[in-house]
A = this chain, B = another copy of it.
Amino acid sequence: MAALRAGLDEQRLLTDPDSVARFAHDEAEWAPFGKPVAVVRATSTEDVVTAVRACAEHRVPVVARGAGTGLSGGANAIDGCVLISLADMNRVLEINPREQLAVVQPGVVNDDLRAACRERGAWYPPDPASSPWSTIGGNVATNAGGVCCVKYGVTRDYVLGLEAVVGDGEVVRLGRRTAKGVAGYDLCGLFVGSEGTLGVVTEITVKLLPGVRAPERTVVGYFDSLVPAGEAVAAVAAAGVVPSALELLDRHCLKAVDDWKNMGLSDEAEVLLLGRSDAPGAAGEEEVATLARCFDEAGATWSAVSTDQHEADALFAARRLAYPALERLGPVLTEDVCVPRAAVPEMLARIEAAARRHDTLIANIAHAGDGNLHPLIITAPGDDAARQRAQLAFDDIVDDAIALGGTVTGEHGVGLLKRRGLHAELGQAVVGMHHAVKNALDPKGIFNPGKVFGDPGR
């Protein structure tokens, strides 16, 4: 504490329990969290260096966090840790359409970067549902996905370079500013998705695409149950179309959004599929026609190519609101499995079976075109028996995803909630390689210890 006090502005260092507690966890309501001894609200790389140096010297755990919108407990405090909040390092340092890149501090909110790029005629694609709140640093830590990832890839595909504070407080630059580069290991890519276990990222260089895009065409499909909607998704993949979005919402989501925002969605459909194409001209027309045909042949009760941009945007806004709408009903245990596209119908059937088997309410949102499903297990507040049943359903879904050739986490990260699943998915030899890399780059074990692969239990 003396080293922190000596090196930091007074108002950047929080130690009183009430202030500190506000930073102690992310939005994974089911994940445990401890008490930090201090919170450093960093405003510069130097602040982070000060904090990491002090922690390395005394072997105190360092946990970094952005906006705290994570869904797996990755940013949750560990007892006795120093928590570094990067939310105030929120400056866009450079937007360079000519080099197709931007340089940002980690606390920049995703939507703010996207808006700043738009003003300069450029586009930063990764768009997690949390984009109005989550930060680029957090997106990097979890390798966040989003709605347009089915066509445009995830955060890692857009991170060209990083500055990070590592080891005992050294500042390193990983990656590059050029379009290509193969000088040495892809340590930049290794840091993306490492959930703060290798160091603290203090600056990010991201790749941009041109800002001029063809207007998107939207196809809406109504289904009377989950499995046919899943079959429509598999049919789209088989047809060789890569839509710019392909999202699924079930009736629990539609109802929750209606109850909150009164949009009247759940009167119309049990399951909603939303497809988009941003291919220009005739190619786009063809793509949406193919999407509509796939929906119909899989048994859609109704489908249409939307001609009303306002209506289409409202439907995608509803998709973005689904998660907060469901959170209003009670603690949500969020799943994030990703399976091969052809396995989407089977996985949806298994999720329904898990819900029945464990007598628990499971709502489904999905980046369906990626096979990335978000079954959301909802329990009434304070109902411990329901919580136990929910945990059993969660474990079954994780095991089913692995059995179908999938992964336990498509975009939220492992954090605390998916550690058992990670061990089951990767196996001992590969987990051993993770430990070796972790120990090599964090020999004192101070960076977010215990997260991701630290504990083979839950």
Contact = CB atoms under 8 A, between A and B. Distances in A.
A56 interface: no
A187 B338 contact: no
B240 A338 contact: no
Interface string A128-147: 00000000000000110100
A172 B281 contact: no
A314 interface: no
Given A180-B367, A184-B431, 19 more contacts: A99-B341, A149-B180, A150-B179, A170-B429, A173-B427, A178-B338, A178-B407, A179-B369, A179-B410, A180-B338, A180-B371, A182-B413, A183-B426, A184-B422, A185-B437, A190-B190, A210-B241, A436-B441, A437-B440
Contact of A237 (B99, B190, B371): B99
Contact of A409 (B181, B211, B430): B181
Contact of A370 (B179, B211, B282): B179
A380 interface: no
A439 interface: yes
A35 interface: no
A157 interface: yes
Given A166-B433, A210-B242, A185 B193 contact: yes
Interface in A253-282: 279-282
B437 A187 contact: yes
The 4 A-B pairs with the shortest beta carbon distances in the complex, nearest first, are A440-B440, A436-B440, A281-B281, A181-B407
Contact of A173 (B153, B340, B414, B430): B430
23 contacts: A98-B341, A98-B342, A100-B242, A143-B186, A150-B179, A154-B180, A172-B433, A178-B410, A179-B338, A180-B338, A182-B409, A182-B410, A182-B414, A183-B407, A183-B421, A184-B431, A184-B453, A185-B194, A186-B193, A190-B437, A212-B240, A281-B283, A437-B441
A214 interface: yes
Contacts of A367: 180
A452 interface: yes
Contacts of A325: none
A189 interface: yes
Interface string A357-392: 000000000010111100000000000000000000
Contacts of A408: 183
A177 interface: yes
Contact of A418 (B150, B154, B166, B183): B183
B430 A441 contact: no
B150 A187 contact: no
A450 interface: no
A77 B370 CA distance: 43
Contacts of A186: 143, 156, 186, 189-190, 192-193
A425 interface: yes
